[in-house]
Amino acid sequence: MTTLETLAPVAANGMFTVAWLMIAVPAVSAAVLLLFGSILDRIGHWIAVAAVLFSFSIAACLFAEQLLSAPDQRAVGVVLFDWITIGSWKITAGLLVDQLSILFALLITGVGALIHIYSVGYMAHDERKRRFFAYLNLFIAAMLILVLADNYLVLFVGWEGVGLASYLLIGFWQHKPSAAAAAKKAFVMNRVGDLGLTMAVMSMLALFGSSAFVDVNARAAGLTPFWATTIGLLLLLGACGKSAQVPLQAWLLDAMEGPTPVSALIHAATMVTAGVYLVVRSHAIFETSSVATTAVVIVGTVTLLVGAWIGTSKDDIKKVLAGSTMSQIGYMMLAAGIGPAGYAFAIFHLLTHGFFKANMFLGAGSVMHAMDDDVNMRHYGALARVLPITSITFGMGYLAIIGFPGWAGYFSKDAIIEAAFEHSTLVGVAALVGAGVTAFYMTRLMLMTFFGEKRWREGVHPHESPKSMTVPLIILAVFSVGAGALMNFWIQDWLEPATGAQVREVSLVPGPIGWATLAVVAVGVALSWWLFGSKPVPEIAPVSSNPFTVAGRNDLFGDAVNNTLVVQPTMVLARGLVANDDAIIDVGADGLGSMFAGLSTQTRRLQTGQVRTYALTMTVGAVLVGLVFILSQLG
């Protein structure tokens, strides 16, 4: 297997020296919003929006500068400061602005800015709006650290930072016990993944003496198969946690308890894709271990089917989209696992998914806004006429995700399916089936929400959302349509130096697999229309004994599996420890205590309160002391 070396980054000059401001400004803004308290309640959200727009403008300038410079000058390393120096390890905090990270920075700050603006409208009546925007800024800063870091330790700082922001934002409505529980669940499950990442980074430090991407990439080829596989699998564990891949997928569906802009930004467009970024960034390690890449492919394939399956059976609009997110990230993982043939498509799909999924989540938020925060699609119906902008923009996202020719998802997902078929027929068929199921559940969502007859609850009067919400929707819809065609012929060449991706021929005319995909998608849409469009949708979910439906409604028993395999054994262990504590440690400690209590009860008897007794005691004592003195003199 040939390992394509990545070019060493060139030193920073000009605009690149201020790249750190991209991170610092949102971070400072978050701190200001949190520290200055209610003084900023009225203008705080605009400060946050301005901070993200500032970061976006820097990212855009850097991107423009990269476009203008020669291909081998595009990856720029920015050294910030010496961070840790222990023994022979010297860890420098630095940024790596290369072809891969700049695309992420643009996605994070661009979609992030739109979602900030959307939140101004969405969160307008929330009392803790200032705090919400502070957390969003914190997230942007942490996510930028994650993608711009030039070594794994700095990446880990951002990795934990986004975990914290995700926790704070999922549990933002902390008065709801379900939100608080979901936040804790996300945090704990992410810790499992973080364990993998931490161990991978420590292994790198132990083996290479450095965690910088440059050093790791350069020396990965010399790893023994055992260590390459170990580090690869540990990194995959980290990626599974952050990206909600099987087996650490259960937190993402509950994470929908957070406000909808959070779901759009963190749990669809950016943070959950960090796992894909990690795998692509660590391509040098994965390329030396076929076991690890196979594991990535398996995880991706299983997750894309599981996510799609869950998406088909949910009535909660956000949970359908969450299942869909899992499924789409599964596609990206699959592409990242295929190897050099898939890296560019993984990132391509990640970007287009970032646009269309953020678009649809924000659209779902707009629908919820209109329906008094009801998330049950069985209470929607016929919203196309009352929410024209929302439904049209949502429709653009819908066409993009099912892969309608010309829309963004068509280019990125079809490329992944083709690459999957080249990798192995089994994986290709799974990806193809996933595309059909995606079309099925997204059509179901569209039909139940925007079409059919009204099933609104009493007293609900849907109305289109304010401009601050619809304008971001429109912009994202434009990208959902155009991003695919825009990047299709460009992204592979662009990413080639950073990821070592193999450039493949792409064309606008679908090949045989492309036609097959379109056919499967058409079947999915038609089936969905036959089930949900041609006849009225019942307002209460019909009781079903179909094992597929039952499993889907229960998230494929993900929670049950976790309970049986992890939670219950932990509980048993904890109960055992408590019993041990009660039976042995407590008894011992109590025994010691009661021994002294008994002893002191006896000693207390010496204090009779009789002055004459005390006098006698004193005299006897004095005589004894005198005797000792005299005897010692004699001796």
Partner 1 sequence: MSPDNYVYLAAILFTIGTVGVMTRRNALVAFMSVELMLNAANLVMVAFALARGNLDGQIATFFVMVVAAAEVVVGLSIIITIYRTRRSTSVDAASLLKL
- Write out the residues near partner 1 by the rule CB under 8 A: 604, 607-612, 615-616, 619
Shortest distance, CB of residue 575 to partner 1, whole angstroms? Answer: 42
With contact defined as beta carbons under 8 Å apart, do 352 and 408 qualify? yes
In the chain, count H helices and then E strands. Answer: 26, 3
Shortest distance, CB of residue 613 to partner 1, whole angstroms? Answer: 9
Shortest distance, CB of residue 620 to partner 1, whole angstroms? Answer: 10
CA dihedral (462, 467, 472, 474) in degrees, to 10, reads 70
Shortest distance, CB of residue 606 to partner 1, whole angstroms? Answer: 10
Q: How far is CA 506 from CA 270, 381, 485, 492, 503, in A?
A: 26, 39, 11, 10, 9
User: DSSP assignment, residue 172?
Assistant: S
CA dihedral (387, 390, 393, 399) in degrees, to 10, reads -80
The helix (H) or strand (E) run that includes residue 523 is helix 512-528
Shortest distance, CB of residue 632 to partner 1, whole angstroms? Answer: 21
Which residue is associated with the tokens 């800024």?
137
Of 518, 249, 301, nearest to 409 by C-alpha is 518
Identity of the residue, 567 or 599, whose beta carbon is nearer to partner 1 in the bound complex: 599
Shortest distance, CB of residue 598 to partner 1, whole angstroms? Answer: 15
DSSP bridge partners of 86 = 89
469's tokens: 């919400």
Identity of the residue, 177 or 609, whose beta carbon is nearer to partner 1 in the bound complex: 609
User: Helix H segments across 149-176?
Assistant: 152-170
Length of the chain: 635
Give me the amino acid identity at 561: V
Shortest distance, CB of residue 633 to partner 1, whole angstroms? Answer: 17
User: DSSP assignment, residue 269?
Assistant: I
Instruction: Report how far residue 529's alpha carbon sits from residue 76's, in angstroms, rounded to the nearest whole number.
Output: 51
Identity of the residue, 224 or 610, whose beta carbon is nearer to partner 1 in the bound complex: 610
Instruction: Report how far residue 126's alpha carbon sits from residue 535's, in angstroms, rounded to the nearest whole number.
Output: 39
Identity of the residue, 35 or 611, whose beta carbon is nearer to partner 1 in the bound complex: 611
For residue 247, whether the previous peptide bond is cis, meaning omega lies within 30 degrees of 0, is yes
Instruction: Report how far residue 500's alpha carbon sits from residue 522's, in angstroms, rounded to the nearest whole number.
Output: 35
Identity of the residue, 611 or 631, whose beta carbon is nearer to partner 1 in the bound complex: 611
DSSP bridge partners of 92 = 82
435's tokens: 């595309």
Identity of the residue, 522 or 615, whose beta carbon is nearer to partner 1 in the bound complex: 615
433: number of Cβ within 10 Å: 15
203's tokens: 């292994």
Shortest distance, CB of residue 607 to partner 1, whole angstroms? Answer: 5
Identity of the residue, 85 or 619, whose beta carbon is nearer to partner 1 in the bound complex: 619
Identity of the residue, 583 or 616, whose beta carbon is nearer to partner 1 in the bound complex: 616
Identity of the residue, 38 or 600, whose beta carbon is nearer to partner 1 in the bound complex: 600
With contact defined as beta carbons under 8 Å apart, do 258 and 172 qualify? yes
Query: Which residues have C-beta within 8 Å of that of residue 534, sequence separation ≥ 6?
Result: none
Identity of the residue, 17 or 610, whose beta carbon is nearer to partner 1 in the bound complex: 610
Shortest distance, CB of residue 604 to partner 1, whole angstroms? Answer: 6
Shortest distance, CB of residue 172 to partner 1, whole angstroms? Answer: 58
Long-range contacts, stretch 296-299, CB < 8 angstroms, 24+ apart: 296/232, 296/236, 296/239, 296/333, 296/334, 296/336, 296/337, 297/333, 297/334, 297/337, 297/338, 297/423, 297/424, 297/427, 298/337, 299/236, 299/240, 299/245, 299/246, 299/330, 299/333, 299/337
Identity of the residue, 43 or 616, whose beta carbon is nearer to partner 1 in the bound complex: 616
Identity of the residue, 611 or 634, whose beta carbon is nearer to partner 1 in the bound complex: 611
Shortest distance, CB of residue 177 to partner 1, whole angstroms? Answer: 51
Identity of the residue, 461 or 604, whose beta carbon is nearer to partner 1 in the bound complex: 604
Identity of the residue, 425 or 608, whose beta carbon is nearer to partner 1 in the bound complex: 608
Shortest distance, CB of residue 599 to partner 1, whole angstroms? Answer: 15
Shortest distance, CB of residue 594 to partner 1, whole angstroms? Answer: 18
Give me the amino acid identity at 590: D
Shortest distance, CB of residue 188 to partner 1, whole angstroms? Answer: 53
594's tokens: 């009661």
Shortest distance, CB of residue 629 to partner 1, whole angstroms? Answer: 16
Instruction: Report how far residue 397's alpha carbon sits from residue 481's, in angstroms, rounded to the nearest whole number.
Output: 8
458's tokens: 């009493």
Identity of the residue, 88 or 607, whose beta carbon is nearer to partner 1 in the bound complex: 607
Instruction: Report how far residue 357's alpha carbon sits from residue 325's, in angstroms, rounded to the nearest whole number.
Output: 7
With contact defined as beta carbons under 8 Å apart, do 286 and 335 qualify? no
Longest CA pairwise span in the chain (Å) = 120
